[in-house]
Amino acid sequence: MKLLNAVRMGGAEILPLVEGGKGVSASNGVSAGHWALAGGAGTISGVNADSYDKDGKIIPQIYRGRTRRDRHEELVAYGIEGGVAQVQRAWDISGGKGRLHVNVLWEMGGAERVINGILERTKGLVNGITCGAGMPYKLSEIAQHFNVHYYPIVSSARAFSALWKRAYHKAAELLGGVVYEDPWLAGGHNGLSNSEDPNKPESPFPRLVALRKVMREFGLETTPIIMAGGVWALEEWEDYIDNPEIGPIAFQFGTRPLLTKESPIPQAWKDRLLSLKPGDVFLNRFSPTGFYSSAVNNRFLQGLRDRSERQVAFSPEPVGEHVAEYGVGVRKRKVYLTPIDLEHVRGWEAQGYTEALRTPDSTLVFETPKEAEQIHEDQVNCMGCLSQCRFSNWSQVGPDFDNGKKADPRSFCIQKSLQNIAHAAPGDEAAMDDNLMFAGHNAYRFGTDPFYSNGFIPTVKELVDRLMTGK
């Protein structure tokens, strides 16, 4: 294993180890603070972060507004308060050592307002902003305003080139690094484009070389690339270290920090990680963002797959093979199916899937009355956690605050699911089956890596020390 040298990032020399910022309450001030204290870059998730009452207890994010717009304002306020609380915790733990970054998803609801609100109230504590899930052109502008470094997350040289030419060249001195996130292996939302086959992973090496080539054209020879997605043991990436084709490199770990003593996820989630097998992480497109995402293939995802399979195309008028009449809803409004599809529908109804739900693609999916009622309730309770949501048809852009499409029952309320699993009660195994459990595709290695033998869960410091050995 090659010697791992410090890398200059965000104006300081640190270990080339970066904690990945994971969604709703899966990386927080405690985990980030300890990661920075160990000498790397700790990352606080700025996505609906937890805030605390005077007794130090987590404040449940309950929405009381009557309209989506009202609830969206509550969401933004929760996000700012939680982000500030987590940054302060991380700073108190790290004592100014290492680097502290805040991660936001550009497509999350109120992203720009939330990150501005957090940085306004934590001046001098945050070293950098990490941002992906979209094309965050305004990231550099925000970084300039607060004089912090910024770290865009991209999955191709082409994406970074577009960001640079449009905006980032105006704040070149604050670009702390470029995160290359492998779109096939990363956990959570992935950056697969329409031209890439989700079933045909590509090696990251030529993609990193292409990214560095573009960066050199822009004078970014010494700006580090941060390799993310699929990184488990650095001995497996030895050819990337001190490689002149790639240049300065650091490595981001998203999955392994989940299983540390300081990780905020519930113990039941940690236990589940230790039991995963190869293939248990599923690349899917059910997210209401419209992006691909990787998550544990549990009962929740299986239910979404089954729902999509109980699907038939319909026509409002008899045309072609669509001649079989079918009544939808309480009023039994007529639509037309193919005779074969009508047979499928009768079979599903016999199994209890009697509720036909319209999708934006002129299809019907079939669910039980109980599940259909839950879908409707979740859509009504939308709080605008995304800039646009295909599940509820919310858009944060006025005047209509509507994305112009029919709400899609094949998706789900991601805010509800992520909050439920992150804050599951001790011993609540059902929450691990009935909610979205993001994970990288290497998560099965917890069960095979001898470091975790007999259920061993390390501290962040023990994990960082282990990573520095290459294992």
pLDDT reported for residue 393: 95
Report the b/e string of 275-289 with b at 16+ CB within 10 A: ebeeebbbbbbbbbb
360 torsion bin: left (phi>0), alpha (psi -120 to 50), beta (else): alpha
Please give the model's pTM, rounded to 2 decimal places: 0.94
- Between the CA atoms of 382, 385, 390 and 396, what dihedral angle is there, to the nearest 10 degrees? 90
pLDDT reported for residue 22: 83
CA separation, residue 46 to residues 21, 209, 262, 378, 456 (Å)? 8, 30, 18, 23, 29
Distance between CA atoms of 334 and 352, rounded to whole angstroms? 21
pLDDT in tens, 73-106: 999 999 999 999 999 999 999 998 999 999 999 8
- Domains defined for the chain, CATH in brackets: 7-267+445-468 (3.20.20.70), 316-352 (no CATH)
pLDDT reported for residue 190: 86
Largest pairwise CA distance in the chain = 71
Distance between CA atoms of 131 and 154, rounded to whole angstroms? 9
What is the identity of the amino acid at 297? N
Show the low-confidence residues of the chain (pLDDT under 50).
none
pLDDT in tens, 41-73: 999 999 999 999 999 999 999 999 999 999 999
H or E segment to which residue 33 belongs: helix 29-37
pLDDT reported for residue 248: 96
Distance between CA atoms of 448 and 276, rounded to whole angstroms? 9
Cβ contact 394:403 at 8 Å: yes
pLDDT reported for residue 134: 75
What is the identity of the amino acid at 311? Q
pLDDT reported for residue 384: 95
Distance between CA atoms of 101 and 10, rounded to whole angstroms? 10
pLDDT reported for residue 155: 93
pLDDT reported for residue 364: 97
Distance between CA atoms of 118 and 375, rounded to whole angstroms? 33
pLDDT reported for residue 346: 97
